[in-house]
Structure 1
């Protein structure tokens, strides 16, 4: 059987849960603090950079055979890809409805807090708002879906699956994804100080865990990571639309 790791890494790792733990620590811990720092400073350039790094991790560690095994491959299941996109949008709208029902437009609403990072001017014409929306949506549908899915549902999931099976591995990568997103909402920087919203954070983390399982299901449905990427892109599109036009 071909080895999934590149020859260099075979000296240090096996493609198993230990590699998965190593990669989670390598990427998620710095990312967590970089996001917190970005929320404080309003400068998000480093976040884009870490998404690029996350996308590159499978290409740095895995052979061509290994990348194929984790799902970086073409799929001809067009209907399933469209369904994945729609499912992602639908989940984002559900989270919007829950947030507005419980917390209205306060900062305990996850979308309201995340909206701060988009720096939408209070006074803006409809045309300018549409241009800004298209720009933000385009970025949001590319960088984090590719970076996070290649990383979490790709190499991290694959490494754990070799040790504990597909189902349990999906719980591990979904948990890691959800906990990492506490930096995006949960530990919040408002009016020059830090706060922690216990119940809203629990709901947000649960939402991120469930949507991660959805990403995994769409990967299975399409037999490709591109299913998860499209579902994630749909989620981001829906979230950004809610932030721009529904809040």
Structure 2
């Protein structure tokens, strides 16, 4: 499973930082994350990683959505307060990395927000909060496993802010990149707590989707304007 995690991280790096022709590797990595438990785990194994109905679904899904949106709002406000709309703002750099010329606001959300609410939340929560968390718990304590899993989640998001590949090669935004890793690790910890308390990865998926939708509302509705 650790090897799979490294493979998915490499696919993300190439899919975000590599040539435009390799962009499909990013959504493909999410799809592979989703199918991994059905290929490698038994029915009992899938239940152990949280692929089951949550306890008190209405409460858990409701709070998960609120917490995900709140986390994205906090990240957005912190980025604007510290960096304005410069390239050091993690959400502003996300917007600049996409070719949105000629897109209306509804088209932007259809093309980018809808996939962001589906692919990465489902794939990443099943893999990070499910498969990877359970794999680490076979060797480490639950708390240490969560720390490693959330740290890995934060580091792979350097591909989205912190590392940039341009005409002059690889560049690094050291300070804002380090802050972004910390914010993503903290957000992942929130998702891990939601998964633990609900007994299921599905409320964490909802929280993650809420985060991504709120993020894109900020990116396209505020920063783009």
Tell me the TM-score normalised to structure 1 length: 0.84
Structure 2 vs 1, CA of residues 29 and 60 (structure 1 numbering), >3 Å: closer, same or farther? same
Structure 2 vs 1, CA of residues 23 and 117 (structure 1 numbering), >3 Å: closer, same or farther? same
Equivalent position to 2:67, from 84, 87, 91: 87
1:208-244: CA deviation from partner (whole Å, max 9, x where unpaired): 1000001101112221000111111011011100001
Equivalent position to 2:174, from 185, 188, 198: 198
Structure 2 vs 1, CA of residues 45 and 22 (structure 1 numbering), >3 Å: closer, same or farther? closer
Measured after TM superposition, the shift of residue 35 of structure 1 is: 2.1
Segments of structure 2 that go 5 or more residues without pairing to the other structure are none
**Contact 1:23/1:156 (CA < 8 Å) preserved in 2?**
no
Equivalent position to 1:174, from 150, 162, 168: 150
Q: Which has the larger radius of gyration?
A: 1
Hey, which bits of structure 1, 4+ residues long, moved more than 6 A? none
2:57 aligns with 77
Whole-angstrom distance in 1 between the partners of 2:137 and 2:146: 8
Tell me the TM-score normalised to structure 2 length: 0.91
Measured after TM superposition, the shift of residue 192 of structure 1 is: 5.8
RMSD over aligned CA atoms reads 1.8
SS of 1:189 mapped into structure 2: strand
1:32 aligns with 13
1:61 aligns with 40
Segment of structure 1 superposing worse, 164-173 or 199-208: 164-173
1:220 aligns with 196
1:129-183: CA deviation from partner (whole Å, max 9, x where unpaired): 1242144222111000011111111111001112212211111111111111111
1:50 aligns with 29
Whole-angstrom distance in 1 between the partners of 2:64 and 2:98: 25
1:32-79: CA deviation from partner (whole Å, max 9, x where unpaired): 233211xx5386322111110111111111111100010011124211
**Contact 1:221/1:227 (CA < 8 Å) preserved in 2?**
no
